[in-house]
Amino acid sequence: MEPWMEPCSWFRKSQVAPGTVISLTSPTRSSWRIISKRNEKEVQMSEEAVQRGSRPFFAAAKLLCQNERDSRKQALTRIYQQIPWTGTEVEPVHYDDDGLVPGGYLTYLVWEIVPGVRLGDSLDVSPFWELLREQRDAARTAFVSGYSQMMTLGYYPMFAGPRNLVWNGETKTLYFIGFLEWKLEKTEYKWDMTFLPEYDLAKAPDYKWERVWNGDTSGWGF
């Protein structure tokens, strides 16, 4: 790894260091100063996977930032950077405006931190189930509406869960946040009740339910 890159990281220190300013032009012009790096994830496979038609591999760094004009506004930023396939990291590093892969992509996404309760994470879904039943029902209704809108646009989140949902009980607003991966499909997806237990917004009888489910939700927990 080159000295100008973080240890065990695909990113240059100047890309993710506190104090670095990220300037964006779309959808509107804005500038965000990095406060801290939250995490880094990677999806990397072999050359054979590429030849089979796998999507380009990437590393993603998640950063906590504040608005340059108004430090009271904070946001999370994720930088997606295309990376080489497995086994080519020992080759000389070529880093241009596209990142580590010549002609590859380097994408910045910023989403402002929104008010409300995050409905869980990969290990704990208690924030949702600690809400009153009335609030849970309202959150589920908002989920169905918001998720259906995404599918209408051909947008399908992958590997998502309650960690990607923030519920504002005062305004009855559900925010969809921080998807690491998603698919854009020309074929429009249709709403399916199975999305509720996938996001831990309903409790199915057991982990095998989906294999034999006949559409009956009478045994589910809401």
- Residue-wise pLDDT for 77-114, tens only, equals 999 998 887 765 545 455 555 456 777 888 999 998 99
What's residue 5's pLDDT? 43
Bigger pLDDT: 4 vs 10: 10
Amino acid at position 98, single letter: D
What's residue 2's pLDDT? 40
In a domain, 142, yes or no: yes
- Distance CA(205)–CA(195), nearest Å, equals 15
In a domain, 1, yes or no: no
Q: How many domains does the chain have?
A: 2
In a domain, 8, yes or no: no
Please choose, from the candidates 160, 161, 159, 146, the residue with its C-alpha nearest in 3D space to the C-alpha of residue 191: 146
Indicate the pTM of the whole model. Answer: 0.79
In a domain, 137, yes or no: yes
**Same domain, yes or no, for 46 and 124?**
no
- Distance CA(59)–CA(42), nearest Å, equals 4
- Distance CA(11)–CA(61), nearest Å, equals 8
Which of 77, 97, 112 is the last residue in one of the domains?
112
* Domain of residue 70, residue span: 13-112
